[in-house]
Amino acid sequence: MKYENGQGQEIMKINEENKKRSYKMLLFCFKTGLSIEYDEDNNTFQFHQLHVCDYIAPFNEYAYTCINNIILFFGGLNGNNVHSKSVHKYSIRGNKWMTFQNTLPSKLHHFAAILNEEDNDIHLIGGVDYKKTILSTHMKTKVSLWYPSHLSRNEIKFIIQYWIRTLQIKFGWIYDFDNIIMKYSRMQEIDK
């Protein structure tokens, strides 16, 4: 954008100068929760302490994955050699914790949680059981079980097709609807 007085060019320079290369990381271990911000331009770190709920505070070695500013924690092991099959959710934006009534089928620790490319499923891989036996486990769970407002692209298309049939409207698919519905479902989760 260019204005007659050259203001448009100056705004672009200001924006380019203010581009910060900063990164945010989260660290959870036992009762410690930290938000760590790294400013690459100034080579500085800032640490902010996060609240860790009482249920997960005694544990570490849990599996975790992040979905749209929500972190899901699975299982874990505490300092007294007590294993967990609990599942917890932490909302980054709301700084709120929730413990699910649904649990893992077995008590595990020292395993990985991997979110698939389409964000539909979480794969829980590996682990150690309460007898200290190394396992080659592979469990698959639906994201929607732990994050109900998260919808897959197929679920979004199904909902839109239902709306179209219900309203008896006939028109072509607009792919921007996927993004609109995903943003709406995420906003609903944040408001909860």
What's the total number of domains in the chain? 2
Percent residues over pLDDT 90 in the chain = 2
96 and 132, same domain (yes or no): yes
Look up tokens 């698939």; give the residue.
Answer: 116
**Position 11 in a domain:** yes
**Position 2 in a domain:** no
Confidence (pLDDT) at 44: 92
pLDDT tens for 50-77 read 888 888 888 888 888 888 778 888 988 8
90 and 180, same domain (yes or no): no
Q: Are strands 83-91 and 109-115 parallel, antiparallel or unpaired?
A: unpaired
135 and 185, same domain (yes or no): no
176 and 125, same domain (yes or no): no
Confidence (pLDDT) at 46: 92
**Position 158 in a domain:** yes
Name the least confident of 17-31, 115-129, 160-174: 160-174
102 and 39, same domain (yes or no): yes
Look up tokens 């893992």; give the residue.
Answer: 104
Contact indicator for 107, 61 with CB cutoff of 8 Å: no
**Position 1 in a domain:** no
CA dist 155 and 168 (Å) reads 20
Chain-centre distance for alpha carbon 1: 37
Average pLDDT value over all residues in the chain: 75
> Any residues with CB less than 8 A from the CB of 76 and at least 6 apart, and which?
56, 59, 60, 61, 62, 83, 84, 86, 109
32 and 92, same domain (yes or no): yes
**Position 173 in a domain:** yes
Both tokens assigned to 132:
């200290």
41 and 135, same domain (yes or no): yes
pLDDT tens for 62-116 read 888 888 778 888 988 888 888 888 899 888 888 888 888 888 888 888 888 988 8
Please compute the mean of the pLDDT values over residues 35-62 and round it to a whole number.
Answer: 88
**Position 84 in a domain:** yes
112 and 18, same domain (yes or no): yes
Map residue 170 onto helix, strand or coil: coil
Both tokens assigned to 148:
């109900």
142 and 163, same domain (yes or no): no
62 and 14, same domain (yes or no): yes
94 and 178, same domain (yes or no): no
Contact indicator for 7, 15 with CB cutoff of 8 Å: no
110 and 164, same domain (yes or no): no
Q: Whole domain around residue 177: which residue ranges?
A: 153-191
Q: Is the pLDDT reported for residue 191 higher than 70? A: no
